[in-house]
């Protein structure tokens, strides 16, 4: 990373702030970027959660009157879009950013400024999407009429309302008038770019910046899952980018890709969308699988059972994930041959998934299980994910899926996978790695309260949805009549949803209190196995005082423990001294360390996308094209500034 | 620790059994997909039910194993466990067993896919056209056009040729068969057969815009003689009111306003009607309207005529600002469009 050559150019000075808001704006430190990803993702989690709570009020009883049809459509669309693109994906990016370099023994990612760029593009993409509440307009399909002769929706309803899946031609210009769907298509395009950039960055980092001795099969499983997710993003995002361009062209320029009246194809969109959308599901769940593959061994005090099998199963899920997209379309009228092929392919996904689950259980078997909060969340993950996985297998029975598809049975299934799976895994990771951020522990007492509330709330919310779906409750319907007999279970679901909300409140209290007053963690509070625990907490700016050298899988464990003849761990006599030595060299690096310098340009380049997005939507207005031109010029000049930025600026060494 | 794990297992048992207990107390929905009333739905049910059981058994084994490990191997202050890194035989075992199980499920699945996606050669044909937000039914051989309620003979396979006039819709009569999309610009096939006469409820499955929730469907299966009688009366022109009756004023309203979008055979013709064909609007079998979301009563028709977009957001029928006299006349006229009453 360090270079001793003189600056090539001094046209642009690099910013120097190391604290205050400017330091966050210009930082290229993967930890600060990770923290910003985390907080902004959590902010969107709250928004997406509030949207869900409003939906549940509406559905608590028959013929709900809390929302009108358009507001309901807007809320379910924004709930899905927010949770997927603005919460689970970026919170995954937060973990990748913060933890992955620490787990491979690197001082930063391969391209620190690009890392900042992907964060800022994500932020501006999120702002852009949510600005549709302020600026978006929506109306009935061409020729249709809104209640009371209205021409536009309420503010709550004037946001993206075509479903996160934006099925065509309903989300096309003829049937979704107004601008909200343009906010949707262009917003997702911007967010996709952010993920694409970070995918390239993570792949380059994992392949090039591992510590000496960290062979690929010595990498923690979490790093492996980061790598698989990055490849999934790399290959799937271009597909949705193309599809979103087609939609934007249809809506803005009058092309006819999906206009069935003019020979366009409605099903083409579904193929493109799900060819991205199914790998996307694994993009959402694999980080959580990586997290519990770290926590289960630590709290069972055993190594991960079948490490290579878990790694290869993760990679296999990634590969197979590209071959099953049409199982989202079993009812669409695709040929029986295609239905059979995609049904069988879908069944095969169960095999590597099963391998993972059995190996996690093998990890716990004959272990010494400590029921810490991160462990509870990991166990919750395994239990709930098994339920989601098995209901997934029932979808692969294609004719059964003709009954299940588009019902709450599907909603139940993917919430068991994405809430019971991804979100429980994320919370396991937050409780587990909190000391790395703060040097403190989250309260175990509040943590357990959080877990039990969330576990009970989760099952109350999503468990009855299986039944409702099989009873015929169709998704995305803003009300149901009394005769359907859905009322009782929907009330239970609503109570469950508010229980989850309560649990999140407990978590927030825990976070805020523990950040200031939590017990000090020391360096290795969990007696963990991997090298991110071989450095002080909170993580020093330079990560590793001395570049680590790795001799084994679970290297940190092997520095502390030997195995006796029976294979039982025996703490080395010098273990405490080793920890003290690592702590000391972590706090006081023996040699000067050169860190990448901050930069203004990622922020500037990211903000350009806001202007570009609005410019495209409003290109027919007088100020639209100038705004677009401004955005492009801002982007180009940021790139020029970026490339002319001196690689190294004279600055005080972080530590001499 | 012991009491805590016991408490946990009790909680868990409650959580899993609660849905079953409560589920059995609540009356089933008219859309219940687990209550098949025709051969296709039954075939699906017979295929799916064992899978639910197998999944349930696997779930019990895995969760039981998890619970066992949590209790048996919890931290009781014992020495650190042996560091076992894996076991190749076990890996092979838990790779092979799911493969064998899935292969066993795959065979009947593939058979059922092929069996259920074809119509029998002697099946009766009905064209289904999806509109925002109602289903139109055309009987090509009989020359009948109707909406919202599809009348079929019980015990006979009906082959639906489906398409959409606007966006994607998804035809679903849960007790008779699974779902199939209606795709604009394309044809899709679905079979329907009811064992017994009866009324079978349905709902559009695919999100199709503002009033997706109100896009419902009814299939009325009747025995062969009733079906033939229905066909015969549907082939008649509309039952028109006698001069001077309140309904005759409604006919005048129809000719003045409604006839730009709706067709009543014997009254008007349109190249491409926007709204449902109203010829036999009040046939006793056609007991619902407005996308099968409202029972066809005088009150509901009056409410609907007063302000359609408020009942069905996005509706292509605007608020026509009808006076209450006009509405009364139209209600009388529409309720008189009953072919069983004769001319």
How close does chain A come to B343, measured CA to CA in Å? 36
Backbone angles phi, psi at B325, to 5 degrees: -65, -45
Cβ contacts of B79 on chain A, cutoff 8 Å: 568
- pLDDT tier at A149, thresholds 50, 70, 90: confident
List the domains of chain B with CATH numbers. 2-116 (1.10.287.90), 246-341 (2.60.40.420)
The answer to whether B74 contacts A369, with C-beta atoms less than 8 Å apart, is yes
B213 vs A357, A402, A477: nearest CB = A477
Q: For chain B, positions 115-134, list CB contacts with chain A under 8 A.
A: 116-117, 132
In our burial notation (b when 16+ CB lie closer than 10 A, e otherwise), range A236-245 reads bbebbbebbe
For A39, other C-beta atoms within 10 Å of its C-beta total 12
Q: Strand B294-295 and strand B288-289: pairing?
A: antiparallel
Task: Give tens-digit pLDDT for A551-572.
Answer: 999 999 999 999 998 899 999 9
A14 DSSP 8-state letter: P
B44 vs A261, A364, A399: nearest CB = A399
Q: For chain B, positions 24-63, list CB contacts with chain A under 8 A.
A: 26-34, 41, 43-44, 47-48, 51-52, 55, 58-59, 62-63
Interface mutation vs chain B, best among A397, A401, A408, A457, most B CBs within 10 Å? A397
The answer to whether A470 contacts B110, with C-beta atoms less than 8 Å apart, is no
Name the residue with higher pLDDT: A309 or A650.
A309
Task: Give tens-digit pLDDT for A101-113.
Answer: 999 999 999 999 9
pLDDT of residue B2: 47
Beta bridge partner(s), residue A293: none
B326 DSSP 8-state letter: H
Peptide bond into A538 cis (omega under 30): yes
CA distances from A550 to A210, A217, A359, B55 (A): 10, 12, 25, 43
Q: Strand B144-147 and strand B134-139: pairing?
A: antiparallel
- Which residues have CB under 8 Å from A549's CB, separation 6+? A211, A212, A213
Task: Give tens-digit pLDDT for A440-456.
Answer: 999 999 999 999 999 99
B261 DSSP 8-state letter: T
Cα Rg of chain A, angstroms = 25
Does the CB of B71 have a partner CB in chain A at under 8 Å?
A: no
- Pick the residue from chain A with its C-alpha nearest to B20: A467
In our burial notation (b when 16+ CB lie closer than 10 A, e otherwise), range A65-76 reads ebbbbbbbbbbb
Cα Rg of chain B, angstroms = 28
Query: So what's the ipTM on this one?
Result: 0.93
pLDDT of residue A467: 95
pLDDT of residue A650: 55
Q: What is the pLDDT along chain B (343 residues), one digit of tens a residue?
A: 445 555 555 555 555 566 555 555 567 899 999 999 999 999 999 999 999 999 999 999 999 999 999 999 999 999 999 999 999 999 999 999 999 999 999 999 999 999 999 999 999 999 999 999 999 999 999 999 999 999 999 999 999 999 999 999 999 999 999 999 999 999 999 999 999 999 999 999 999 999 999 999 999 999 999 999 999 999 999 999 999 999 999 999 999 999 999 999 999 999 999 999 999 999 999 999 999 999 999 999 999 999 999 999 999 999 999 999 999 999 999 999 999 986 5
Instruction: Please check the confidence at residue A626 and state whether its pLDDT lies above 50.
Output: yes
User: What does the alpha-carbon distance between residue B174 and residue B30 come to, in Å, rounded to a whole number?
Assistant: 9
- Pick the residue from chain B with its C-alpha nearest to A174: B166
- Cβ–Cβ < 8 Å for B295, B148: no
Interface mutation vs chain A, best among B205, B219, B303, B305, most A CBs within 10 Å? B205
Residue A122: both structure tokens together: 């994500």
The answer to whether B213 contacts A167, with C-beta atoms less than 8 Å apart, is no
pLDDT of residue B6: 56
A403 vs B33, B99, B185: nearest CB = B33
Interface mutation vs chain B, best among A331, A388, A394, A464, most B CBs within 10 Å? A331
Name the residue with higher pLDDT: A364 or A653.
A364
A379 vs B66, B184, B313: nearest CB = B66
Backbone angles phi, psi at A549, to 5 degrees: -125, 135
pLDDT of residue B15: 58
Interface mutation vs chain A, best among B67, B181, B191, B199, most A CBs within 10 Å? B181
- pLDDT tier at A651, thresholds 50, 70, 90: low
User: What does the alpha-carbon distance between residue B166 and residue B133 come to, in Å, rounded to a whole number?
Assistant: 10
In chain A, % of residues over pLDDT 70: 96
Does the CB of B79 have a partner CB in chain A at under 8 Å?
A: yes
Which of these ranges, A342-346, A540-544, A652-656, has the smallest mean pLDDT?
A652-656
Task: Give tens-digit pLDDT for A229-283.
Answer: 999 999 999 999 999 999 999 999 999 999 999 999 999 999 999 999 999 999 9
- Which residues have CB under 8 Å from B10's CB, separation 6+? none
The answer to whether B86 contacts A351, with C-beta atoms less than 8 Å apart, is no
A478 DSSP 8-state letter: S
- pLDDT tier at A7, thresholds 50, 70, 90: very low
Task: Give tens-digit pLDDT for A463-483.
Answer: 999 999 999 999 999 999 999
**What residues does CATH 1.20.210.10 cover in chain A?**
30-219
Does the CB of B320 have a partner CB in chain A at under 8 Å?
A: no
- Pick the residue from chain B with its C-alpha nearest to A72: B210
Cβ contacts of B293 on chain A, cutoff 8 Å: 481
Distance of CA B12 to the CA centre of its chain: 35
> Please, is A509 exposed, middle or buried when counting C-beta atoms within 10 Å of its C-beta (0-12, 13-18, 19+)?
middle
Place of tokens 């109350």: A460
pLDDT of residue A469: 96
pTM for the predicted model, two decimal places: 0.94
Instruction: Please check the confidence at residue A184 and state whether its pLDDT lies above 70.
Output: yes
Q: Strand B188-192 and strand B180-182: pairing?
A: unpaired
Reported for A235-238, long-range contacts at CB under 8 A and 24+ positions apart, including other chains, are: A235/A279, A235/A322, A236/A275, A236/A276, A236/A279, A236/A280, A236/A283, A236/A322, A237/A192, A237/A195, A237/A196, A237/A199, A237/A276, A238/A196
Across chain A, mean pLDDT equals 93
- Pick the residue from chain B with its C-alpha nearest to A334: B188
CA distances from A384 to A45, A400, A418, A502 (A): 20, 22, 10, 20
pLDDT of residue A122: 98
Place of tokens 């985390």: A38
pLDDT of residue A5: 44
Q: Report the CATH fold assignment for A30-219.
A: Cytochrome C Oxidase; Chain A (1.20.210)
pLDDT of residue A154: 87
The answer to whether B309 contacts A339, with C-beta atoms less than 8 Å apart, is no
Does the CB of B91 have a partner CB in chain A at under 8 Å?
A: yes
A397 vs B48, B167, B207: nearest CB = B48
Instruction: Please check the confidence at residue A4 and state whether its pLDDT lies above 80.
Output: no
């Amino acid at each position: 990373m360090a270079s001793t050559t003189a600056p090539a150019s001094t046209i642009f000075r690099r910013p120097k702030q190391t604290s205050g808001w400017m330091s966050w704006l210009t930082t290229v430190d993967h930890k600060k970027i990770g923290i910003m990803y985390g907080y902004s993702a959590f902010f969107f989690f709250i928004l997406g959660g509030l949207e869900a709570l409003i939906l549940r009020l509406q559905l608590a009883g028959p013929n709900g009157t809390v929302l009108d049809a358009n507001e309901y459509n807007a809320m379910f669309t924004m709930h899905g879009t927010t949770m997927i693109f603005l919460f689970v994906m970026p919170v995954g990016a937060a973990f990748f950013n913060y933890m992955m370099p620490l787990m491979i023994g690197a001082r930063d990612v391969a391209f620190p400024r690009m890392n900042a760029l992907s964060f800022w593009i994500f932020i501006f993409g999120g702002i852009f999407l949510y600005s549709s509440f302020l600026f978006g307009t929506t109306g009935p399909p061409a020729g249709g009429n809104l209640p009371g002769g209205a021409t536009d929706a309420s503010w709550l309803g004037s946001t993206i309302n075509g479903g996160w899946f934006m099925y065509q031609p309903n989300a096309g210009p003829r049937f979704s008038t107004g601008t909200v769907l343009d906010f949707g298509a262009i917003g997702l395009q911007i967010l996709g770019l952010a993920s694409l950039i970070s995918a390239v960055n993570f792949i380059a980092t994992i392949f090039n910046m591992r510590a000496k001795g960290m062979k690929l099969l010595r990498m923690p499983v979490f790093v492996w899952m980061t790598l698989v997710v990055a490849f999934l993003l790399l290959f799937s995002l271009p597909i949705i980018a193309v599809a979103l361009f087609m939609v934007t062209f249809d809506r803005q320029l009058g092309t006819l890709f999906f206009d069935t009246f003019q020979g366009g194809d409605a099903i083409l969109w579904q193929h493109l969308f799900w060819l991205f959308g199914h790998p996307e599901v694994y993009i959402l769940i694999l980080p959580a699988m990586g997290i519990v593959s770290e926590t289960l061994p630590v709290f069972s005090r055993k190594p991960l059972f079948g490490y290579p099998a878990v790694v290869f199963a993760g990679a296999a899920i990634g590969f197979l994930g590209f071959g099953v997209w049409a199982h989202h379309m079993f009812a669409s009228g695709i040929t029986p041959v295609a239905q059979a092929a995609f049904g069988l392919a879908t069944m095969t996904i169960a095999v590597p998934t099963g391998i993972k689950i059995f190996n996690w259980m093998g990890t716990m078997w004959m272990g010494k299980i400590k029921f810490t909060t991160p462990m509870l969340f990991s166990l919750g993950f395994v239990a709930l994910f098994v339920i989601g996985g098995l209901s997934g297998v029932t979808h692969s029975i294609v004719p059964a899926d003709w009954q299940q598809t588009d019902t709450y049975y599907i909603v139940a299934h993917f919430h068991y996978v994405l809430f019971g799976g991804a979100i429980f895994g994320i919370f396991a990771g937050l409780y587990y790695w909190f000391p790395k951020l703060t040097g403190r522990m989250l309260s175990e007492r509040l943590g357990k309260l959080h877990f039990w509330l969330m576990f009970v709330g989760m099952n109350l919310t999503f468990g009855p949805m299986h039944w409702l779906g099989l009873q015929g409750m169709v998704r995305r319907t803003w009300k149901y009549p009394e005769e359907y007999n859905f009322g009782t279970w929907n009330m239970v679901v609503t109570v469950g949803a508010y229980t989850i909300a309560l649990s999140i409140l407990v978590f927030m209290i825990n976070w805020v209190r523990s950040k200031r007053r939590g017990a000090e963690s020391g360096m290795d509070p969990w007696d963990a196995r991997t090298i991110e625990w071989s450095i002080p907490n909170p993580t020093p700016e330079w990560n590793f005082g001395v570049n680590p050298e790795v001799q084994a899988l679970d290297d940190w464990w092997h520095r502390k423990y030997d195995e006796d003849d029976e294979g039982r761990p025996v703490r080395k006599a010098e273990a405490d001294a080793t920890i003290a030595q690592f702590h000391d060299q972590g706090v006081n690096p023996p040699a000067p360390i050169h860190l990448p310098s901050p930069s203004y340009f990622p922020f500037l380049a990211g903000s350009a996308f806001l202007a570009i997005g609005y410019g495209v939507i409003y290109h027919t207005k007088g100020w639209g094209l100038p705004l677009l031109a401004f955005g492009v010029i801002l982007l180009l000049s940021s790139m020029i500034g970026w490339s002319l930025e001196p690689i190294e600026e004279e600055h005080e060494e972080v530590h001499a | 620790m012991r009491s805590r794990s016991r408490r946990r297992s009790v909680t868990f048992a409650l959580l899993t059994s609660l849905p079953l207990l409560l589920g059995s107390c609540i009356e089933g929905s008219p859309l219940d997909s687990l209550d098949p009333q025709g051969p296709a739905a039954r075939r699906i049910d017979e295929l799916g039910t064992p899978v639910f059981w197998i999944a349930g058994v696997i779930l019990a084994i895995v969760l039981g194993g998890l619970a066992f490990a949590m209790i048996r191997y919890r931290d009781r202050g014992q020495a650190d466990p042996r560091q076992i890194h894996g076991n190749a035989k076990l890996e092979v075992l838990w790779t092979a067993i799911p493969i064998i199980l899935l292969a066993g499920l795959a065979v009947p699945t593939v058979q059922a896919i092929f069996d259920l996606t074809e119509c029998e050669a002697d099946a009766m044909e009905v064209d289904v056209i999806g509109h925002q937000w109602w289903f139109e039914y055309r009987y090509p051989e009989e020359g009948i056009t109707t909406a919202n309620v599809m009348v079929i003979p019980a015990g006979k396979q009906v082959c639906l040729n489906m398409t959409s006039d606007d966006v994607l819709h998804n035809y679903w009569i849960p007790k008779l068969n699974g779902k199939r999309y209606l795709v604009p610009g394309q044809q899709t096939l679905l079979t329907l057969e009811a064992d017994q006469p009866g009324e079978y409820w349905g709902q559009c499955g695919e999100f199709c815009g503002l009033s997706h929730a109100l896009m419902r469907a009814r299939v009325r299966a009747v025995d062969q003689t009733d079906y033939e009688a229905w066909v015969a009366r549907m082939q008649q022109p509309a039952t028109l009111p006698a001069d001077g009756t309140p309904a005759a004023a409604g006919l005048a309203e129809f000719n003045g306003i409604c006839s730009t979008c709706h067709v009543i055979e014997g009254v008007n013709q349109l190249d491409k009607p926007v709204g449902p064909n109203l010829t036999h609007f009040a046939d006793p079998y056609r007991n619902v309207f407005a996308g099968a979301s409202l029972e066809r009563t005088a009150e509901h028709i009056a409410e609907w005529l007063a302000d359609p977009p408020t009942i069905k957001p996005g509706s292509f029928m605007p608020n026509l600002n009808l006076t209450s006299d006009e509405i009364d006349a139209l209600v009388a006229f529409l309720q008189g469009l009953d072919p069983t009453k004769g001319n």
